[in-house]
A and B are shown apart, each in its own frame.
Chain A
């Protein structure tokens, strides 16, 4: 078993058994947070890592799904209806984002998604009849699938874990598929892809929808976790935070965004209990990552590992072509 697979197996084992060795409810809840933020980061990574499209408005989509859930529940619908409607609205909002922002790439794409995220934040803040404005929306209950109430932190954790694992598997299948290869092709050589017969815009659009689905899923988990949604969740800071998760962990890798989500959530929730200026610490960590492992924690660690154990890729023999 390679070191990578061993690390993944150990991490998975640790996640499955986490409620048994974690000291206390608080840390189990931190575990749940890491998992749904990891789904969020995986969703953003589809665009940042695999499509080469950096979005700074994803917190808006995350928030739309969360608000949709809260609003549906407020209207008196059940959890199933609320979740389904939130998923549809989340993906539909992403589709709208995509139609508007895929007119450009690079800086243009960043700026349009940033603007769209700000518009959603503004709506959440000002459309008081719908969103409750600053007061937000309370979600008094959590669902109880098959009789297991998610009010119990351990149950919530395991449900989140299942959705997380499903999201990782879905992402892995996506990345290794012909469509995934097409998407990465449009990231590296859009002009060439077009000349090879690919519909570059449509490929990017579908990738956006997949990203939107994961983002909406995480937004719904978030609103059930906090049982409250307010405009702050949609702020630019939140969009930047999830982008940092992706970039610090390693964009364009499956594990990177998960590790990045773990890092940010742990520093925010756990380390902040010991160090008052945790923002400073988080900043320092990012600076260190950028200097030491600009490709992100996961690819960077893999590189250092190979360096340490001298297991470099075998040099390819130079053969004379026949």
Chain B
């Protein structure tokens, strides 16, 4: 059984075909990289997989379960988590509160209007554990507004990890990071255990290539090349559309 199976997925905005008959098969525990030039439809593919957009046709399966019609808000409950290319956090709150919201999203306690959120020991405990994994536990109480861009990137990842996903979708987790920060994020991604399947969109080839076992190249919404690192890099189509030489 595959972790993620995408079959014949299509999506157009008006006359613009952003996803054209995409097929994707990601095995459990796999690290998959999706590359492609700007406008290739990478983020749209993510939005289709997470359900923020609904496909015109095709189907999506998560660990054998058809989730094509499952509302996007249900998908985290089935073990899918994502990070955003454009950082999407709660700027008025502290780091730990951001992670707590991620935890609460999967807990029935999110409907409870009568208990104090600050007194929920297990929320804070699990939140700190997730922050520990990204090396931010020591500044957990810091307001998000007072954090650096690199720290926010890691909060994004901590929120996804806090949900204990089976499938983790990372949308350009290295975007805008310095070389040092990139190395830190790369290390924390490499430390994620194999029971988490990961699909990553990334432009930054040197860090991304090290991460991935299989690579899918998208171009104008179509899968052009798919294979292991060497196959994709050596493929003449890759050089043509992406590497540019």
Given the known interface contacts A194-B73, A199-B73, A316-B142, the answer about A176 and B159 at a Cβ–Cβ threshold of 8 Å is no
Residue-by-residue, is A204-226 near B (CB-CB < 8 Å gives 1, otherwise 0)?
00100010000000000000000
Are B82 and A179 in contact (CB-based, < 8 A)?
no
Q: Which of B78-95 contact A (CB under 8 A)?
A: 82, 84, 88-92
Of chain B, the residue at the smallest CB distance from A200 is B73
Q: How far is the CA of A321 from the CA of B118 in the complex (A)?
A: 25
Residues of B within 8 A of A180 (CB): 113, 117
Closest CB of chain A to B21's CB: distance in Å?
Answer: 26
**Is A182's beta carbon under 8 Å from chain B?**
yes
B115 at the interface (CB under 8 A from A): yes
At the interface, yes or no: A126 with Cβ under 8 Å from chain B? no
> B120 contacts which chain A residues (CB < 8 A)?
178
Map CB proximity to B onto A166-182 as digits: 1 under 8 Å, 0 otherwise.
00000001101111111
B135 touches A321 (CB 8 A): yes
Asked whether, in the complex, the Cβ of A193 is within 8 Å of the Cβ of B142, the reply is no
Q: Give the interface segment out of A10-18, A155-163, A183-191.
A: A183-191
How many B residues have CB within 8 A of the partner chain?
44
Residues in A with CB closer than 8 Å to B184 are 321
Please count how many residues in chain A sit with their CB below 8 Å of the partner chain's CB atoms.
Answer: 29
B115 A195 Cβ-Cβ under 8 A: no
Cα separation A180 to B112 with both chains bound (whole Å): 8
CA distance A189 to B90 in the complex (A): 7
Interface membership of B228, Cβ < 8 A: no
The residue that A181 contacts in the complex, of B84, B91, B97, with Cβ under 8 A, is B97
Q: Are A181 and B72 in contact (CB under 8 A)?
A: no
Given the complex, which residues of A lie within 8 Å of B109, measured CB to CB? 178
Whether the pair A195, B52 counts as a contact (CB closer than 8 A) is: yes
In the complex, residue of chain B having the shortest beta-carbon distance to the beta carbon of A174: B113
Residues of A within 8 A of B117 (CB): 176-178, 180-181
| Set of chain A residues within 8 Å of B159, measured between Cβ atoms | 196
Residues of B contacting A193 with CB < 8 Å?
101, 105
Residues A185 and B90 in contact in the complex (CB < 8 Å), given A178-B120, A196-B163, A316-B146: yes
Smallest distance from the beta carbon of B85 to chain A beta carbons, Å?
13
* Residues of chain B lying within 8 A (CB to CB) of residue A176: 116-118
Distance between B189 CB and nearest chain A CB, rounded to angstroms: 16
Closest to A199 in B: B73
Smallest CB-CB separation from B50: which chain A residue? A195
B102 on the interface (CB 8 Å rule)? Answer: yes
| Residues in B103-160 with C-beta less than 8 Å from chain A | 104-107, 109-118, 120, 135-136, 138-139, 142, 146, 151, 159
Contacts of A198 in B (CB 8 A): 73, 105, 110
In contact, A197 and B113 (Cβ under 8 angstroms):
no
14 example contacts (A-B, Cβ-Cβ < 8 A) are as follows A177-B112, A178-B120, A180-B117, A181-B117, A185-B101, A188-B92, A189-B89, A192-B89, A192-B90, A193-B105, A197-B76, A197-B106, A319-B139, A322-B135
Q: What are the 8 tightest A-B residue pairs by CB atom distance, in nearest-first order?
A: A196-B105, A197-B76, A197-B105, A179-B113, A192-B88, A177-B113, A178-B117, A194-B73
